[in-house]
Structure 1
Amino acid sequence: MEVVILDTGCANLASIKIAISKLGYNPTITTEPSIILKSQKMFLPGVGTASAVMQILSEKKLINIIKNFKKPVLGICLGMQLLCASSEECNGVKTLGIIKSSILRLQTNNLSLPHIGWNQIEFQKSHALFKNIPNKSRFYFVHSYILPINQYALSTTNYGVNFSSVIQKNNFFGVQFHPEKSGKIGAQLLKNFLEM
């Protein structure tokens, strides 16, 4: 099976590739449209700022390719946030617009930002993505912005406020945490996505 990881210029590309390779796949890190279009699964990773990654996607002419992709796509961390319409980061940068919702700065009251470390997800819907994953399993998070809970939330997490931690709209999936840094439970989620 052809699996691609979009080269968004982020630091975690190698760790995502290693995590997928351990599951028996041979993913390609690329921005080449011809390779992307023949793949069966796409990973959209993101670390850093929404504006920087959107600029890369624009320069590489990948925005419409992502939006029109018909096979399963998994956005990871910032990659999940990019699936939405805009982000409060950088004075309201426009993102992919697959989900008509805005990314907001995490308002945590007295908790420190960014939200770094292990936190649990609480299922809102049953889904094949959660096969062999117990409800309230803990995953590794690093973020300062959130997608508020909406109709596409498969799970939620609390850090001062409740927010969407796993989402799905059609063939587009997103996880706010880093499955590649979440041990066996993260590997199970990646396996589930790859086997869907």
Structure 2
Amino acid sequence: MNIGIIDYGMGNLFSVAEAIKRLGCDYFIAGDSTTLAQADALILPGVGAFPDAMHKLKASKLDMFIAQQTKPVLGICLGMQLLFEFSEEVQPTSGLGVINGQITKFDASALRVPHIGWSELTWHKPYVESTTDFVYFVHSFYATQTNEADIVASAQYGDVQVPAVVQYANFTGMQFHPEKSGELGKQLLKRWLKDVAK
């Protein structure tokens, strides 16, 4: 099994790659669809602003490549947000549109923004077994208007229920950083890799 990590100039590639390596899985990093098409599954990482990320994906023609995938795809942090239909970050921007919903900013008058730190997951579906339910978040925007059926786990931040793990068809998203989330992060990546291997 070989995992392709998508390099479009805005991802925390090293930490994601190291996490996959520690789980004993082969991987490669690439920024072109011809090479990435050789992977058994893909990871879309991301750090930064939604419009910049979509601009880079479109410039390299990776937007359509990802959206049309039938292989498993995992979006992490900004990478998860890009899977949705639309974001209001900086300026209205269309996303990859593979998961229903849009990306909205936390209300800074009611919450400290960005949301940084460890938060507990509430499971909507059975997914993994772990001794902890805490994972590490760093984000100012979150998914709204999502289909309840697509939410695997959520996290409460103030009065906001943040979709934390989402899954639709072959696409999975994790709003937090599993590669920085200790034992539970490891278990979540192992579960995704197990699903890839089926």
Runs of 4+ in 1 over 3 A off after TM superposition: none
Q: Could you tell me which residue of structure 2 aligns to residue 5 of structure 1?
A: 5
In the aligned structure 2, how far is the partner of 1:9 from the partner of 1:77?
15
Identity across the alignment (%): 40
Q: Which amino acid aligns with 1:147?
A: A
1:153 aligns with 2:151: yes
Shift, 1:34, TM fit = 1.9
Pair 1:100–1:110, CA change in 2 (3 A) = closer
In the aligned structure 1, how far is the partner of 2:33 from the partner of 2:11?
21
The 5 A counterparts of 1:78-117 are 78-107=78-107, 109-117=109-117
In the aligned structure 2, how far is the partner of 1:137 from the partner of 1:40?
29
Q: Which amino acid aligns with 1:155?
A: A
Q: The residue matched to 1:111 in structure 2 has which SS?
A: coil
Moved more, 104-113 or 31-40: 104-113
The 5 A counterparts of 1:65-144 are 65-107=65-107, 109-126=109-126, 130-133=127-130, 137-144=133-140
Summarize deviations over 1:7-38 as a string: whole Å, max 9, x none.
03125110000011011112111112122112
In the aligned structure 1, how far is the partner of 2:147 from the partner of 2:100?
10
Q: Could you tell me which residue of structure 1 aligns to residue 170 of structure 2?
A: 171
5+ long unaligned stretches in structure 1: none
Aligned residues: 192
In the aligned structure 2, how far is the partner of 1:2 from the partner of 1:171?
16
Q: Which amino acid aligns with 2:32?
A: E
Q: Could you tell me which residue of structure 2 aligns to residue 37 of structure 1?
A: 37
Q: The residue matched to 2:45 in structure 1 has which SS?
A: strand
In the aligned structure 2, how far is the partner of 1:117 from the partner of 1:92?
27
Shift, 1:109, TM fit = 4.7
5+ long unaligned stretches in structure 2: none
Normalised to the residue count of structure 2, the TM-score between the two structures is: 0.92
Q: The residue matched to 2:112 in structure 1 has which SS?
A: coil
Q: The residue matched to 2:35 in structure 1 has which SS?
A: helix
The 5 A counterparts of 1:54-65 are 54-65=54-65
Q: Indicate conservation of the 8 Å contact 1:17/1:27, yes or no.
A: yes
